[in-house]
Amino acid sequence: MTAIFFYIFLICIFSILIVGHYLGIKKALLLESEQKLKSRPYYYGWYCLIWMSIPAFLFYVILSILSFYKIFYFSPFLTYVFTFLFVVIGLLLSLKNITPKLNARVKVEKFIDILLLVCAGITILVTIGIVLSIFFESLKFFKNINIFDFIFGTKWEPDTAFLGGAGRGDEMVAEPKFGSVPLFAGTVMITLIAMFVAVPTGLFSAIYLSEYASKNIRKKIKPLLEILAGIPTVVYGFFAAITVSPLVVKIAESLGLKAEYTNALAPGIVMGIMIIPYISSLSDDVINAVPKSLREGSLALGTTKSETIKHVVLPAALPGIFSAIILAVSRAIGETMIVVMAAGLRPNLTLNPLEGMTTVTVRIVDALVGDQEFGSLETLSAFGLGFVLLLITLILNIFSMKIVRRFREKYE
């Protein structure tokens, strides 16, 4: 019955909001026929809508919060009734306020300013909430594991950690080890391979599309490149595991090298293909945004087209290109599915990309989806890894922003 009441309540609320909006415009048109108003009639419709919706919405949210935390219980039916009454009262008051002296445009625009400010504040609060939630959970992990052993340790062997969570920590088993260096080394290795594929390919594609390709070719090639960004990562994972990885093994054998089928090279290459559109599309837009006067000035001085691109266009577009690369790096660091399917789950500290290794995000997923108790060290290690990864990403972003600002100041 509660669900039915809720749907009836929603239908009634939306109906009266539409009617109130119409009545506000209607009254403004009637007044305008007698004397000039300070705003266009549709602003009065929005004025009524705001008066009806915002107080009622706040009332509903406050009552729901009080009921949820059992501070003050209000039955759902009475909540719907009183909310509806708030809407009706808002309609009557707003219609009464509509007079020739009322400047509805100023009221509505002030409300929109406040609404935008609230939206911006919500995004900041959500970000802070995410950081704090990871931070407090990671503290539980670091109370049991020394943070220096975690950051500088070279062994990741958490398999026996579940015994501690089950109260069997005193059994004669090997002590779990949470050295994160192999995981971060694997992340860096696979990300570097991906960027080695994506940066030159994406950047050269952007230069060709923006500087050399005709309009018809550009219209055909650019959408095809951007399709790569829409392919599900699980499809890339299949491609890496079934096609690229065996190919890597065969090529390595033909060169006299030994390669594992779950190697780091295959997911790195496929991940690089996946993020090409991030670099090519954004770089293309940035290069196109370089003022035409810069190109013409350079050509007027006698430089060739390639020299103009090298010495004028690319340096001017460098902040945007660098931002595109940072975005691609962040995408590569966070990728999980391709690594799981093609590189495996084995933490392996090595510089050989033909061996299997894993990444931080893969181990986070592995720690959270197992049948471990949530308070076990292995599960909590996911938050420790997430927190360190968050710090690294934050430092990377600050560093990139400084570089972008330096180049922007140089060319502004």
**Across residues 323-348, what is the average pLDDT?**
84
pLDDT tens digits, 219-278: 888 888 888 878 888 899 889 989 999 999 999 999 888 888 888 899 999 999 999 988
Q: Residue 407: which pLDDT band, with cuts at 50, 70 and 90?
A: low
pLDDT tens digits, 353-368: 888 888 888 888 888 8
Min mean pLDDT across 32-36, 291-295, 399-403 is at 399-403
Please count the CA atoms within 13 angstroms of the CA of 61 that sit on its side-chain side: 6
Nearest to 344 by CA among 240, 274, 249, 247: 240
pTM to 2 decimal places: 0.75
Q: Across 107-116, 153-162, 383-392, which has the greatest mean pLDDT?
A: 107-116
Burial of 244 (0-12, 13-18, 19+ CB in 10 A): buried
pLDDT above 70: residue 55:
yes
d(CA 60, CA 48): 19
pLDDT above 80: residue 295:
yes
Token readout for 66 is 């009080």
Q: Residue 163: which pLDDT band, with cuts at 50, 70 and 90?
A: low
DSSP track, 302-358? T--HHHHIIIIIHHHHHHHHHHHHHHHHHHHHH--HHHHHHT-S-----S-TTS---
pLDDT tens digits, 82-140: 888 888 999 899 988 888 888 889 999 999 999 999 999 999 999 899 888 888 888 88
With the C-alpha atoms ordered 372, 376, 380, 381, is the resulting torsion angle positive or negative?
Answer: negative
Token readout for 65 is 């919060």
In this prediction, residue 201 carries a pLDDT of: 93
In this prediction, residue 207 carries a pLDDT of: 93
